[in-house]
A and B are shown apart, each in its own frame.
Chain A
Amino acid sequence: MPSFSRIRAIAEKEVFHILRDSRTLAIIFLMPLLQLIIFGYAMNMEIRQVPLLVDDLAMNSSSRALVSAFVNTDYFVLIAKEAGTLKPDELFRERRAQATLTIPKDFGAFQHRVLLRIDASDPNSAQMIQNYALGIVNSTGVRTEAGIDLRAQILYNPDLKSSFFFVPGLIALILVMVCALLTSISISREKEMGTMEQILVSPVSATEILFGKVIPYLILGLLDALIILAVGMLLFQVPFRGDFSVFLLFTFLYVLTSLCLGLLVSTVAKTQQAAMMMALGLTLLPTLLLSGYMFPITSMPVILQKLTYIIPARYYLQIIRGIMLKGNNIAQLYQAGLSLLSMSVLMLIVAARRFKLRLS
């Protein structure tokens, strides 16, 4: 039977380490904020202020209405007309414009065709420019050739702000990185210092060590989650439509899973350096690429789709996006929650096993 008093002795000692080690404190408080700010601003998938050259051959009221519709958004800026002497090709090559709009002479009377050329050397941006432009053209009421009038209703994020997408994702990414990092070095540090030996000769069991290590970081991890959430909402104006207690419950599960991942790493790694590298390697890229954070899981090859099932962030992303954007309740999220819980338990068992193995 694990003894509560031993777990408490280990947890208390761990708190002293945390409070006195500036490196741990930096990992806990500074790293998440820096990441949030850097990732949050750098990973902006929206396109703003696209330099657009307009070649208006009509110069009538219809063409002017169309041009001002473009200019009135934040998406496009007109570049000076003098540059119009250049061909679109040269403009693109010199990166002076990313798109050109040519309005034919008879526009508005019996011509409804306009020509939009887009620099697609960055296909994502090109795609988005095209979408923006179509949206603008549609909104002016000028009918398109096909004659189908499609009006999409966009839910949860009507302005299609990418911050709505990224901030919840960042919470998932940062939490798993920080938590795995913390527990991974907390055990490898004891191995390096030789203090682990002193614990191993004592009657403390592997379970007690693991619990004693996890509990203080569990509290810190939750605290971290709250900080990231608050700063994320403040900086990026992301809504929080769900219930706060649901958020706490599921975030608790996610933090636990991440800490257990770190523990597992620390039973493998021999030095703090190795543990840090491993913890980062197992969390950063897999979370970025395979959790649905950046790329939709459904568009991945089947093998990669299967692989996403072992990425904790995959479940938490569902949860956090669900809570923040859709106001999901427990019933809608319990499956993802159960997946996290079973992952934690599994990793804890394996960690304890590996830990005991080391003794012999």
Chain B
Amino acid sequence: MIHTSHLVKQFGSFKAVDEINLEIGRGEIFGFLGANGAGKTTTIRMLSGLLKPSSGEIRIDDLDIVRHSEQIKHKLGYMSQKFSLYPDLKAVENLQFYAGIYRVPFEPALKRLEPLLEQFGLSSILNTLTQDLPMGYKQRLSLVAALMHDPPLVFLDEPTSGVDPQARREFWQVINDLANLGKTIIVSTHFMDEAEYCHRVIIMQDGREVALGNPAELKTKHGSANMQELFLKVLGVSDAKL
């Protein structure tokens, strides 16, 4: 689904992303882990076509992201780190807008997503102004908006920041369901416990890959009891330092 080779993003003399090579398959939940400024968001922004790579290659479904950006844009859904629905629009109007800009008929799309709206408890608040919704609802609504055009590839940039643990668990349940439907999910997070939900993760530091693989396998390999420990270990931070 996604292939990158020698992916580099340079801002002036600062290398935000340095030689990232990835191969992500269909239906995979792939996680980006790392501290703030490690290059997670920059990588995701490049993969979703928001930033142009300084060098290297990105192919999505065997299409080059620069040359076939139009085709690729129809295939991907994106939920940004910053909540980005229109606060002065009703929930349903936001959904309508996203259906509109992807040229998807609204009613069928809404019907398709009805089980999800139900599961998220959003069906009853569709006519509420988005600004009046609690954070957890807004974030779930963002995900639904990103799914209006039924994209095979979904990017979630720190989707659960600012959300309570219970809501985070429900959210991950839905992400899991989406992957089971064959959607590829790219997610970045700084919650280590969430990394356990991913099929594979990449741990980044200073724009470079420091570990890549299945969470369970990585833990065994590095002899760590949990992701938190693993994370600190591969980053070279000793417990004593904490």
Residues on A lying within 8 angstroms of B by beta carbon are 3, 5-6, 8-10, 12-13, 16-17, 20-21, 193-195, 197-204, 359-360
- A360 to B46 Cα, complex, angstroms: 10
B80: A residues at CB distance < 8 A: 194, 197-198
Q: Is the CB of A200 within 8 A of B100?
A: no
A86 to chain B, nearest CB (A): 66
| A-B pairs, 6 with minimum CB distance | A9-B100, A194-B82, A360-B52, A194-B84, A203-B73, A201-B78
Q: Is the CB of A16 within 8 A of B89?
A: yes
Q: Is the CB of A201 within 8 A of B48?
A: yes
- Would A199 and B101 be within 8 Å (CB), given that A13-B93, A193-B84, A194-B82 are in contact? yes
B136 to chain A, nearest CB (A): 18
Q: Is the CB of B103 within 8 A of A17?
A: no
- A10 to B86 Cα, complex, angstroms: 12
Among residues of B, the one whose C-beta sits closest to the C-beta of A18 is B88
A304 to chain B, nearest CB (A): 40
**How many B residues face the partner with a CB closer than 8 A?**
30
In this assembly, does B191 line the interface, its C-beta being within 8 Å of a C-beta of chain A? no
Residues on B lying within 8 angstroms of A by beta carbon are 48-52, 70, 73-74, 76, 78, 80, 82-89, 93, 96-103, 145, 155
Q: Which of A8, A21, A200 has the most CB of B within 10 A?
A: A200
Q: Is the CB of B101 within 8 A of A9?
A: yes
Q: Is the CB of B103 within 8 A of A6?
A: yes
Q: Is the CB of A197 within 8 A of B50?
A: yes
A16: B residues at CB distance < 8 A: 86, 88-89, 93
Q: Is the CB of B82 within 8 A of A203?
A: no
- Would A9 and B48 be within 8 Å (CB), given that A201-B76, A203-B70 are in contact? no
Q: Is the CB of B97 within 8 A of A3?
A: no
A16 to chain B, nearest CB (A): 5
Among residues of B, the one whose C-beta sits closest to the C-beta of A209 is B101
Of A6, A195, A201, the contact of B100 (CB 8 Å cutoff): A6
